[in-house]
């Protein structure tokens, strides 16, 4: 059975999107290999360099770059960074992760500006993956604006605190007919697994790997957790009894006919 | 049409100051903005008694997931000294969470050392017997070329203080030249009005750093007897004016040792926190200069700030402001800088010369200006490693040097 992640027509076998901004560039290749990841994010502000330390040079062949608009404070800036990303990366890729933050302290996404940027960039042909705070109304607006997926945060970025917004992500999974990629805050493979069991389409992680004792090994652990969660979701998770065993004597046994 | 950067009346009647002037009174050419941040910072600083804190307060501060102003006070107090290792561990964890293992690199470029001020601790002060130089446009380009060749992509332009429209245009032209060689241009110049910052932003500058020197106002008045710099509140609100003018970010510092360093360290961190609250999108940074020997330096009753004290301050700042970039200058030794980038510092200078037109001589492979001698240095530097050496040291320590983390939009 083919179980591919479909992002605006681009298909991927891996459901693990790797961040790349918080660890040494030399480790990117090993992280990708152990994660078996097919998508690696790339901060345009970092890639916008003349130096040999350009992160583009460290991304293994065949891996799709997912540029993000980190540094954008409103829709207009995000749109300009996205267009620059297209120039920098070239080729046929038009994937873009929209990140718009008006707060340097918590780095929470600005949902309102994100909808505006999504609308503009989707109409320009980008495959738009917006990073968002999990709000159902906004997610619906993002669908209408032409997003190819939604990327709700699980917890404040960099916090490794896990599925803090679990209930709201579950609502998005239930209601939104686009891939829901859980982004930011996932700290452990077990949390990634849980999100995948819930029906998340993919997981994006960065800090969880960067702060691990052994980055490549943690990348591998995430890979297995994500695969296990996905399989469990596809298999259909059995019911959970809330209190003790269920009586085999049906309560409705008195009904006739 | 000539741009007006200062209020009309200032040019009609140049203000001459001396110590009789109150250092809290604005001059006519100085813009006032509506802000109460200074009241907050000064009140908190006045209330701060570093001897009041106990080991229990420090333990509580270290246990909290986010540090309050009270926690900051505890972490800066003498009671926290025995907890330095625990503070360093917490600081490192927070630095790693917010910045990963990235350390940004930049080079400062001093383009002029003429100055109208008389700061008693500064080698560039007006009247001091130093060689004065103002780089010509061609010399600025030459210096920039040499710095850019080293691999640096972020430049910080520094000047003395001269309040004329022509001088602001001179800085504006330097910004414009910088944008040809570098991805990011920051300024560490004298405070100007919002219109001035807007003009410099249009010329390519996007980050403004202003050192408040000290938040102890009587001491500030004593150390700054003349010049525009004498006016404490105008300087205090410089970062806010820069952000109002569209700059992406702003840097803050107190020159530790001028007054009680614990109170200054508290005040500058609270200043950053208050500005962040008011301008949440701004990218803010903290620097931690200590007094260093200067050419023609005089006895200013400086208070010694030991490396251990500075380490404690940086850890306290990181725990209180985990999202703020912390810059460590070449005033500090290579060993101290190498140690602190593993704990709290996220940005360091490289290939530094604080003299005017010195990069050609120091790093230019023998290229020098033929027009005249280089100007004297503002202070002695303690880490004169080249960009390449610092880059290698960081990589060897498992850190990721970052030459650009900026995009001009």
Q: For residue B275, what pLDDT is reported?
A: 97
Look at residue B12 and tell me whether its pLDDT is greater than 50. no
Residues of A within 8 A of B97 (CB-CB) are: 158-160, 207, 211
- pLDDT bucket at A200, cuts 50 / 70 / 90: very high
Give the residue-averaged pLDDT of B239-265: 96
Q: For residue A232, what pLDDT is reported?
A: 94
Q: For residue A254, what pLDDT is reported?
A: 78
Residues of chain A contacting B, Cβ within 8 Å: 21-25, 43-46, 48-51, 53, 71-73, 76-77, 80-81, 84, 101-107, 158-160, 206-207, 210-211
* Partner A contacted by B179 (CB < 8 A): no
**Residue among B97, B151, B400 whose CB faces A24 most closely:** B400
Q: Greater confidence, A132 or A254?
A: A132
A236 burial level (CB within 10 Å; 0-12, 13-18, 19+) = exposed
Distance of CA B170 to the CA centre of its chain: 21
Look at residue B6 and tell me whether its pLDDT is greater than 60. no
Question: What count of Cα atoms within 13 Å lies in the side-chain half-sphere of residue A167?
Answer: 0
Name the one residue in this structure whose structure tokens are 């210096």: B143
Look at residue A243 and tell me whether its pLDDT is greater than 70. no
Q: Provide the 10 A C-beta neighbour count for residue B395.
A: 16
**Residue among A45, A46, A105 whose CB faces B323 most closely:** A105
Residues of B within 8 A of A80 (CB-CB) are: 409
What is the 3 state secondary structure string of chain A? CCCCEEECCEEECCCEEECCCCCCCHHHHHHHHHHCCCEEEEEHHHHCCCCCCCHHHHCCCCCEEEEECCCECCHHHHHHHHHHHHHHHCCCCCEEEECEECCCCCCCECHHHHHHHHHHHHHCCCEEEEEECCCHHHHHHHHHHCCCCEEEECCCCCCCCCCCCHHHHHHHHHHCCCCEEEECCCCCHHHHHHHHHHCCCEEEECHHHHCCCCHHHHHHHHHHHHHHHHHHHHHCCCCCCCCCCCCCCCCCCCCCC
A246, two tokens: 């269920």
C-beta atoms of A102 and B280 within 8 A: yes
φ and ψ at B44, to 5 degrees?
A: -65, -40
Name the residue of chain A whose CA is nearest to B97's CA. Answer: A158
Reported ipTM: the value is 0.75
Q: Provide the 10 A C-beta neighbour count for residue A207.
A: 23
Q: What is the overall mean pLDDT for chain B?
A: 87
Residues of B within 8 A of A68 (CB-CB) are: none
Residue among B383, B388, B337 nearest B363 (CA):
B388
Give the residue-averaged pLDDT of B357-380: 60
pLDDT digits over B204-226, tens only?
A: 999 999 999 999 999 999 999 88
Give the residue-averaged pLDDT of B94-121: 89
Residues of A within 8 A of B278 (CB-CB) are: none
**Residue among B99, B280, B405 whose CB faces A45 most closely:** B405
φ and ψ at A59, to 5 degrees?
A: -85, 125
Contact A28, A20 (CB under 8 A): yes
Q: For residue B373, what pLDDT is reported?
A: 59
- How far is B110 from chain A, CA to nearest CA, in Å? 24
Catalytic residues of A: 97
DSSP β-ladder status, B207-213 and B249-254:
parallel
pLDDT-wise least confident of A101-115, A167-181, B360-374? B360-374
- pLDDT bucket at A87, cuts 50 / 70 / 90: confident
Look at residue A225 and tell me whether its pLDDT is greater than 90. yes
* Partner A contacted by B282 (CB < 8 A): yes
Give the residue-averaged pLDDT of A115-121: 97
Mutation site for A-interface testing, chosen from B90, B95, B98, B100 by largest number of A Cβ within 10 Å: B100
Residues of B within 8 A of A103 (CB-CB) are: 280-281
Mutation site for A-interface testing, chosen from B104, B279, B404 by largest number of A Cβ within 10 Å: B404
CA dist B326 → A160, B211, B249, B271, B316 (Å): 23, 14, 13, 14, 12
pLDDT digits over B318-361, tens only?
A: 999 999 999 998 889 889 999 999 999 999 998 777 667 667 66
pLDDT-wise least confident of A57-61, B283-287, B292-296? B292-296
C-beta atoms of B323 and A107 within 8 A: yes
Q: Which span out of A114-118, A156-160, A246-250, B400-404 was modeled with the highest average pLDDT?
A: A114-118
Give the residue-averaged pLDDT of A83-97: 82
- How far is A170 from chain B, CA to nearest CA, in Å? 26
Name the one residue in this structure whose structure tokens are 């490289």: B350
C-beta atoms of B96 and A22 within 8 A: yes
Q: Greater confidence, A44 or B53?
A: B53
Residue among A170, A135, A154 nearest A204 (CA):
A154
Q: For residue B376, what pLDDT is reported?
A: 63
For residues A253 and A238, give the distance between their C-alpha atoms in angstroms, rounded to a whole number.
Answer: 24
pLDDT-wise least confident of A91-105, B116-130, B197-211, B250-264? B116-130
Contact B144, B109 (CB under 8 A): yes
- How far is A113 from chain B, CA to nearest CA, in Å? 13
Q: Greater confidence, A144 or B35?
A: A144
Look at residue B273 and tell me whether its pLDDT is greater than 90. yes
- How far is B338 from chain A, CA to nearest CA, in Å? 17
Contact B215, B262 (CB under 8 A): no
Q: For residue A251, what pLDDT is reported?
A: 78
Q: Provide the 10 A C-beta neighbour count for residue A166.
A: 17
For residues B368 and B358, give the distance between their C-alpha atoms in angstroms, rounded to a whole number.
Answer: 8
Residue B112 CB partners (closer than 8 Å, separation 6+): B133, B134, B135, B159, B160, B162, B170, B356, B375
Q: For residue B56, what pLDDT is reported?
A: 95
C-beta atoms of A24 and B399 within 8 A: yes
Name the residue of chain A whose CA is nearest to B274's CA. Answer: A105
pLDDT digits over B36-78, tens only?
A: 999 999 999 999 999 999 999 999 999 998 999 999 999 999 9
Residues of A within 8 A of B151 (CB-CB) are: 51
CA angle B172, B173, B174 (to 5 degrees): 90
Mutation site for B-interface testing, chosen from A20, A21, A24 by largest number of B Cβ within 10 Å: A24
Residue among B336, B327, B341 nearest B391 (CA):
B341
B204, two tokens: 């390519």
Percentage of chain B lying above the pLDDT 90 cut: 65
**Residue among B100, B283, B284 whose CB faces A22 most closely:** B100
Look at residue A241 and tell me whether its pLDDT is greater than 80. no
C-beta atoms of B405 and A77 within 8 A: no
C-beta atoms of A84 and B282 within 8 A: no
Q: For residue B405, what pLDDT is reported?
A: 82
- pLDDT bucket at A48, cuts 50 / 70 / 90: low
SS3 content of chain B, % helix, strand, coil (to 5): 40, 15, 45
Contact B155, B182 (CB under 8 A): yes
φ and ψ at B191, to 5 degrees?
A: -65, 140
Q: Provide the 10 A C-beta neighbour count for residue A48.
A: 22
* Partner A contacted by B392 (CB < 8 A): no
- For the entire predicted model, the pTM comes to 0.84
For residues A11 and B383, give the distance between their C-alpha atoms in angstroms, rounded to a whole number.
Answer: 51
For residues B147 and A218, give the distance between their C-alpha atoms in angstroms, rounded to a whole number.
Answer: 39
Q: What is the overall mean pLDDT for chain A?
A: 89
- pLDDT bucket at B8, cuts 50 / 70 / 90: very low
Give the residue-averaged pLDDT of A67-91: 89
CA dist B50 → B221, B302, B356 (Å): 24, 19, 40
Residues of B within 8 A of A45 (CB-CB) are: 404-407
Q: For residue B370, what pLDDT is reported?
A: 46
Residues of A within 8 A of B395 (CB-CB) are: 24
Q: For residue A86, what pLDDT is reported?
A: 86
Name the residue of chain B whose CA is nearest to A75's CA. Answer: B409
Residues of A within 8 A of B401 (CB-CB) are: 53
pLDDT digits over B159-197, tens only?
A: 988 888 899 999 999 999 999 999 999 999 999 999 999
User: How many residues make up chain A in this entry?
Assistant: 257
- pLDDT bucket at B1, cuts 50 / 70 / 90: very low
- pLDDT bucket at A57, cuts 50 / 70 / 90: confident
For residues B268 and B44, give the distance between their C-alpha atoms in angstroms, rounded to a whole number.
Answer: 11
Q: For residue A160, what pLDDT is reported?
A: 84
Look at residue B10 and tell me whether its pLDDT is greater than 60. no
Look at residue A52 and tell me whether its pLDDT is greater than 70. no
């Amino acid at each position: 059975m083919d179980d591919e992640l479909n992002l605006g027509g681009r298909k991927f076998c891996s459901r693990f999107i790797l961040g790349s901004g918080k660890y040494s560039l030399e480790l990117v290749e090993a992280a990708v290999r152990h994660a078996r990841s097919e998508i690696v994010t790339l901060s345009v502000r970092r890639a916008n360099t003349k130096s040999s330390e350009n992160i583009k040079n460290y991304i293994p062949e065949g891996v799709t770059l997912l540029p993000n608009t980190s540094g954008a404070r409103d829709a207009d800036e995000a749109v300009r960074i996205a267009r620059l990303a297209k120039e920098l990366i070239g080729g046929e890729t038009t994937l873009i992760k929209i990140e718009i933050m008006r707060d340097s302290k918590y780095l929470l996404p600005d949902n309102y500006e994100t909808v505006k940027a999504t609308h503009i960039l989707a109409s320009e042909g980008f495959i738009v993956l917006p990073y968002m705070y999990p709000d159902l109304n906004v997610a619906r607006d993002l669908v209408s604006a032409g997003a190819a997926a939604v990327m709700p945060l699980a917890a404040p970025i960099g916090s490794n605190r896990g599925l803090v917004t679990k209930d709201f992500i579950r609502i998005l999974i239930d209601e939104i007919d686009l891939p829901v990629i859980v982004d930011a805050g996932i700290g452990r493979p077990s949390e990634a697994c849980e999100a995948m069991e819930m029906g998340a389409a993919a997981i994006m992680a960065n800090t969880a790997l960067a702060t691990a004792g052994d980055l490549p090994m943690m990348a591998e652990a995430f890979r297995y957790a994500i695969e296990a969660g996905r399989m469990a979701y596809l298999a259909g998770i059995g019911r959970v009894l809330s209190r003790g065993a269920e009586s085999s004597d049906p309560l409705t046994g008195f009904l006739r006919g | 049409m000539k741009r007006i950067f200062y209020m009309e009346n200032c040019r009609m009647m140049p203000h001459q100051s001396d110590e009789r002037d109150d250092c809290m009174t604005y001059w006519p050419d100085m813009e006032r903005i509506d802000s109460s941040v200074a009241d907050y910072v000064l009140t908190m600083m006045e209330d701060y008694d570093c001897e009041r804190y106990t080991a229990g307060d420090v333990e509580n501060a270290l246990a909290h997931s986010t540090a309050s102003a009270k926690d900051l006070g505890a972490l800066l107090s003498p009671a926290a000294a025995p907890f330095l290792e625990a503070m360093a561990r917490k600081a490192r964890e927070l630095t790693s969470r917010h910045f990963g293992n990235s350390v940004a690199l930049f080079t400062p470029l001093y383009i002029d050392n003429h100055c109208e001020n008389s700061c008693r601790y500064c080698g560039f002060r007006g009247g001091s017997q130093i060689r004065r130089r103002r780089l010509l446009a061609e010399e600025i380009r030459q210096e920039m070329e040499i710095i850019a060749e080293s691999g640096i992509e972020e430049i910080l332009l520094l000047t003395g203080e001269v309040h004329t429209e022509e001088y602001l245009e001179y800085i504006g032209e330097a910004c414009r030249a910088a944008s040809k060689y570098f991805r990011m241009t920051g300024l560490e110049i004298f405070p100007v009005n919002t219109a001035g910052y807007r003009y410099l932003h249009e010329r390519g500058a996007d980050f403004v750093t202003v050192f408040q020197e000290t938040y102890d106002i009587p001491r500030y008045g004593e150390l700054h007897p003349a010049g525009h710099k004498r006016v404490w509140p105008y300087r205090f609100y410089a970062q806010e004016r820069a952000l109002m003018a569209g700059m992406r970010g702003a840097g803050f510092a107190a020159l530790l040792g001028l007054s009680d360093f614990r109170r200054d360290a508290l005040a500058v961190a609270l200043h950053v926190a208050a500005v962040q609250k008011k301008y949440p999108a701004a990218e803010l940074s903290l620097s931690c200069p200590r007094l260093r020997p200067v050419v023609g330096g005089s006895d200013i009753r400086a208070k010694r700030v030991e490396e251990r004290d500075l380490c404690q301050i940086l850890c306290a700042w990181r725990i209180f402001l985990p999202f703020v970039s912390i810059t460590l200058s070449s005033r500090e030794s290579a060993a101290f800088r190498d140690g602190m980038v593993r704990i709290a510092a996220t940005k360091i200078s490289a290939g530094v010369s604080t003299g005017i037109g010195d990069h050609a001589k120091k790093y230019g492979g023998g290229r020098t200006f033929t027009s005249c001698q280089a100007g004297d240095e503002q202070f002695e530097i303690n880490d004169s490693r080249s960009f390449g050496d610092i880059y290698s040291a960081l990589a060897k320590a498992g850190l990721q040097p970052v030459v650009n983390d900026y995009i001009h939009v």
